[in-house]
Amino acid sequence: MGEEGVIRNVVCPFCGCCCDDIELTVSENNITSAKNACALGQAKFGSAQVGRVLRPKERVDGKFTEIDYERAVRRSAKILAEAKYPLLWGWSCTSCEAQRVGVELAEEVGGVLDNTTSTCHGPGLLAVHDVGESTCTLGEVRHRADLIIYWGCNPVHAHPRHMRRYTVQSEGRFRKGRGERKMIVVDVRNTSAAKMADEFIQIEPNGDYEALTAIRTCLRGEELEQEVIAGLPSSRFEELADDLVDCEFGVMFFGLGLTMSKGKSRNVDAALSLVRDLNSKTKFLAMPMRGHFNVTGANEVFAWQTGYPFAIDFSQGYPRYNPGDTSGVDIASRGDCDAALVVASDPVSNFPLEAAKGLASVPIITIDPHETPTTNASEVVLPSAMVGIEAQGTAYRMDGVPLMLRKVLEPPEGVLQDAEILSAILREVKGLKGGR
């Protein structure tokens, strides 16, 4: 049963902040208010009522026909079991419990298991493999940090409560608020977050690697030979290096400005190296601004089960990891996969069009609560309950802290949860593969 009345301490299932102080008012299986939620959270809690897929369906002669779950599961299992190289994509907007079943299913069908990390902070994880990462929980940031850098991200739009709950505007044990913390923003635009900063450093597009390397050079006491770096006078980076060293506890939050622009993993490599260098002079940490509420969980679950956080290829019978080769966009754009399972994601919208076309040319099975361009391009669609609203489960916050998502509404009549659907497909696949 869903709950009624005021429900406190609900975790928001939108972004990687996973705000756990939401107060929902529920009446007659509707959320009538979401106190403390940001605009993104409000929209997510409100979306339970709109654009839903209510019945499983399959494509017959080019048109969708409604079917029951049993038939949808059988058809899905047949497609996956017969495929030579299926792509199992998505996973960042569902629970760890569903992700765990996904790993077993990917191994069983010998497919590629990839989550949306590969199109957000995947390059950052490649940099972590190379450099390592000095990091902490958001609680430590709240209580101790006196310098916050947002580099290549705009939390006002993408993580609206990040500053209020965890960083410059939060009230911690040892840092009482905005007056005791300095905020620096490095970006290519004068964003809403930049307007709130004590210092805004506007670099030119694709200039991140240069800028980060210039600061590292200054920290080592070496002279910058170029007069202009990333569109700015080199003296600007000398000043910035001094500012970074002056803090007692600094944290760099970095966004997709680093991972999606020229340099990609090398940009994050430079950022993490800068933070490592800073630790010889003061205390400094780094953290990626993770987008989907459980993309960190997808990395955790996949890594503890397979050893790798994303882009895992089971086609040889054991897990292999080679992003750029075994990652979703690359596989779809090369036309390598011959079937796809999409869970809680919309790659047809989010992939570059060429890759979206490649994906849409093979049979797709989609498990999703809402109608999307991907469900419309699918061969089989299985509606699911919204995780964190109609289904409980575990999610990992961007700092790696696991939190319990609540079930506060009943899903539409007859609609199952991701983990249940995936378990049913797995059972059917095992039957088709010889009763293992």
> Contacts with another protein in 122-181 (CB under 8 A)?
122-123, 126, 154, 156-158, 160
Q: Residue 62, interface with another protein (CB under 8 A)?
A: yes
CA distances from 186 to 201, 215, 236, 265 (A): 5, 12, 12, 18
**Closer CB to another protein, residue 101 or residue 295?**
295
Residue 333 tokens read as 């754009």
Minimum distance of another protein from residue 427's CB (angstroms): 27
Under rule CB under 8 A, which residues in 389-418 are in contact with another protein? none
Nearer to another protein, 172 or 255 (CB): 255
Interface with another protein (CB under 8 A), residue from 8, 27, 30, 39:
39
Q: Residues 67 to 106: which contact another protein by CB under 8 A? A: none
Please, which residue, 282 or 315, has the CB nearer to another protein?
A: 315
State the nearest-atom distance from the C-beta of 176 to another protein, in Å.
Answer: 28
Question: If binding is defined by CB under 8 A, does position 30 make contact with another protein?
Answer: no
Query: Least Å distance between CB 174 and another protein?
Result: 31
Residue from 332, 342, 367, 426 binding another protein (CB under 8 A): 332
For residues 8 and 18, what is the distance between their CA atoms, to the nearest angstrom? 14
Say which residues have a Cβ less than 8 Å from residue 409's Cβ, sequence separation at least 6: 2, 26, 29, 30, 31, 48, 386, 389, 390
What are the C-alpha distances in Å from 63 to residues 66, 339, 342, 372, 376? Answer: 10, 19, 20, 16, 10
CB count, 10 Å around CB of 207? 21
> Under a CB-based contact definition with an 8 Å cutoff, are residues 105 and 130 in contact?
no
Residue 120: burial class (beta carbons within 10 Å; 0-12, 13-18, 19+): buried
What the block records as the tokens of 297 is 């969980």
Q: In the complex, what is the shortest distance from the CB of residue 310 to another protein, in angstroms, rounded to a whole number?
A: 7
Which one among 59, 78, 129, 276 touches another protein, defined by CB under 8 A?
59
Q: Write out the binding residues for another protein, residues 247-266 only, by CB under 8 A.
A: 256-257, 259-262, 264-265
Sign of the Cα pseudo-torsion (297, 302, 304, 308, in order) = negative
Q: Which of 383, 423, 384, 385 is nearest to 407 (CA)?
A: 385
Sign of the CA dihedral 317, 318, 322, 328? positive
Residue among 148, 212, 329, 339 that touches another protein (CB under 8 A): 329
Residues 365-384 that bind another protein (CB under 8 A): 370-374, 376-379
For another protein, which is the closer residue by CB, 250 or 363? 363
Min. distance of Cβ 379 from another protein in angstroms?
A: 8
Q: State yes or no: residue 335 binds another protein (CB under 8 A).
A: no
Smallest separation, CB 355 to another protein (Å): 4
What residues between 7 and 26 interact with another protein by CB under 8 A?
14
Contact residue for another protein among 30, 235, 280, 349 (CB under 8 A): 349
Contact pattern from residue 288 through residue 327 relative to another protein, giving x for each residue in contact according to CB under 8 A and a dash for the rest: ---x------------------xx-----------xxx-x
The number of beta carbons lying within 10 Å of the beta carbon of residue 401 is 14
Contact between 273 and 263 (Cβ < 8 Å): no
Using CB under 8 A as the binding rule, whether residue 33 contacts another protein is answered as no
